[in-house]
A and B are shown apart, each in its own frame.
Chain A
């Protein structure tokens, strides 16, 4: 059997799979433009007045602008997303890193470009969640004030870097998937698959982590493990993440998505019944039940997207990533 079988040439130039340009042009790239605007506004606000009350609205607007992008963890975002939103953090890396900077009055806060070198746990939205909303920190303190400003300015710089990397390079790699010179995506299907799997894994993350972590077990709920509970954004982030998944699913699909849209209605209805936006009351059985129902609705949304978007494309879970050995 000496016939040298040649690997089937998958390296042909081809137009991007339908859905990929739509996902970029309707959702991802405009999302980064908005993220740059909102984080820029946040940085300017903090530079003028770093006290928590003043910065908080700009912080929320910046967080809102990140959520549509938060689960697209590929390309420049595959590690870049972590320094924007460092969570989960069961081991408390963020308070440790912030406390270290404050205890040393570390001069790294005076040069925004230097701040990019500190631990990713002390950067981004979760650092602000703690500095602005945890009573342990006082934004009227001069060093803490400088720290808030440094985190905000660094976040705006991260936004610009990510936006540029997506717009200049990674979007092109997705669009030219399958072209001879494209070493990132060997076929148009790979680009489609890459975006689609972000939608599914993002919803899994929302159900298992954003909702599953604070739920813990019935005997031992863990409300302090909720995402951004200090700024009472836990529920809002779940809704925005689900919105993002629905929006991306529509961009990727060539058909209407009635099951997906119906599932999203279910998510909204369940969210409306959750009593505490930071999930801090889930040791109450009734409050807990509403959050559990919400987690179920998020999983139903995931199933609907898998059926309506993934199944027609023939995309199955990864052969190796879904295995373990």
Chain B
């Protein structure tokens, strides 16, 4: 991703007015939201060494974000049900724009820019029935909503860009009540993994076996060859060993990772984040409830795990996988080895966004 960003930044710089690039924001490699010691919320930029490169205050708890591929702009999404997303200029820390979903809809925490940075996709749901919507925003001078398409499922959460320019959406299948978080349909969930083209037209859909209908497909990581890793959260009876990681390449059947029984149970039926390793050879999934990060090969084989209290955020790192936790820890996971990069007086939130 860094290469693409560098390439586009070069293009912009050559073609038009002198562009402000990510270097002006301290060249962060990651974005992460956090709650600070005094209870305030903020969005941070991080470099690969774990140093903070910028800090921007947030009006409420954030969830994930999206970095523009060329300009030092980040869209920080509020925790769902999200009433806002902030477009932040990471070079000067100023909020450039505040995005709001259409009336009767909420942001669901994730979104992504297109590879050329000209479009933003936002994951949303209708408050009334939790029907999923992907908002389409055009990035001319600033972001303007130009339309929306169905996400093809209930309660979508994560969305990722595919190498071919299309999108993959995790439709979690969970409908929520009036407060936007109370789950109302756990007995009749139908999660799916949906592929859309760049215009939002349905291309493909994966639905798991009915006995996994209560496995909410929530978070995604995409490998360079288009293989999608999807992390799940079990809403059925506690203590049931269920797969929490699935792998899918279009045209093939999904593969469900099957760790040893004790490992499966140790995750407490919950994967909060997923990331591909820096070398692209393994996926990691985190469970803050089980205090654990598990690693699987690209074929779904279990490779190992590390224990860490309240761990959740994960992102690819040149040395393996970067992990953050609610105690402020910032850790480099090199296989099963843990190397602390630092500890900040903040509670890192669910996700790290790789730029």
Contacts and interface: CB of A to CB of B under 8 A. Distances in A.
Interface of A: 1-2, 4-11, 74-75, 78-79, 82-83, 88, 90-91, 93, 119-121, 183-184, 186-187, 190, 193-194, 197, 209, 318-321, 323-325
B203 interface: no
A2 B55 CA distance: 10
A5 B261 contact: no
Given A10-B343, A11-B343, A321-B288, A2 B26 contact: yes
A319 B92 contact: no
18 contacts: A1-B26, A7-B341, A7-B342, A9-B342, A10-B342, A79-B262, A79-B266, A88-B239, A186-B328, A319-B326, A319-B347, A319-B348, A320-B272, A320-B288, A320-B350, A321-B289, A324-B233, A325-B80
A183 B340 contact: yes
A318 B291 CA distance: 10
Nearest to A321: B288
B95 interface: no
A78 B307 contact: yes
Greatest chain A CB density within 10 A among B25, B109, B237, B325 is at B325
Interface stretch (B2-10, B46-54, B122-130, B136-144): B46-54
Contacts of A2: 24-26, 53-54
Contacts of B328: 10, 186
Contacts of A10: 328, 342-345
B344 A8 contact: yes
A11 B310 contact: no
B93 interface: yes
A79 B292 CA distance: 11
Contacts of B261: 82, 93, 119-121
B262 A82 contact: yes
Closest 4 CB pairs of A and B: A10-B343, A319-B326, A7-B342, A320-B288
B350 A8 contact: no
Contacts of B63: 325
Nearest to B50: A7
Given A74-B307, A320-B312, A320-B349, A7 B326 contact: no
Contacts of A9: 342-343
Given A7-B341, A320-B272, 7 more contacts: A1-B93, A5-B52, A10-B343, A90-B237, A120-B262, A319-B35, A325-B157
B109 A325 contact: yes
In this complex, the interface size class of chain B, counting residues with CB under 8 Å from chain A, is 35 or more
Interface in B331-348: 331, 337-345, 347-348
A228 to B, nearest CB: 16
A93 B241 CA distance: 11
A186 B326 CA distance: 13
B329 A325 contact: no
Contacts of A4: 26, 51-53
B262 A325 contact: no
Contacts of A90: 237, 239-240
Contacts of A324: 233, 270
Contacts, number: 129
Given A186-B340, A319-B349, A320-B288, A83 B309 contact: no
Given A318-B288, A321-B291, A324-B270, A5 B55 contact: yes
A194 B327 CA distance: 11
A319 B79 contact: no
Contact of B79 (A11, A120, A325): A325
Interface string B164-204: 00000000000000000000000000000000000000000
A88 B91 CA distance: 53
Given A11-B343, A74-B307, A79-B266, A320 B325 contact: yes
A8 B288 contact: no
A187 B289 contact: no
Nearest to B343: A10
| B79, B263, B311, B340: most-surrounded residue (chain A CB, <10 A) | B340
A190 B309 contact: yes
Given A319-B349, A321-B288, A190 B327 contact: yes
A8 B328 CA distance: 10
Given A187-B343, A325-B63, A318 B262 contact: no
Interface in B35-91: 35, 50-55, 63, 79-80, 91
A1 B57 CA distance: 13
A91 B240 contact: yes
B291 A7 contact: no
B55 A186 contact: no
A78 to B, nearest CB: 5
B310 A82 contact: no
A119 B261 CA distance: 8
A97 to B, nearest CB: 10
B132 to A, nearest CB: 16
Nearest to B270: A324
B223 interface: no
A190 B326 CA distance: 11
A209 B265 CA distance: 15
B345 A321 contact: no
B217 interface: no
Given A6-B52, A325-B272, A325-B350, A197 B309 contact: yes
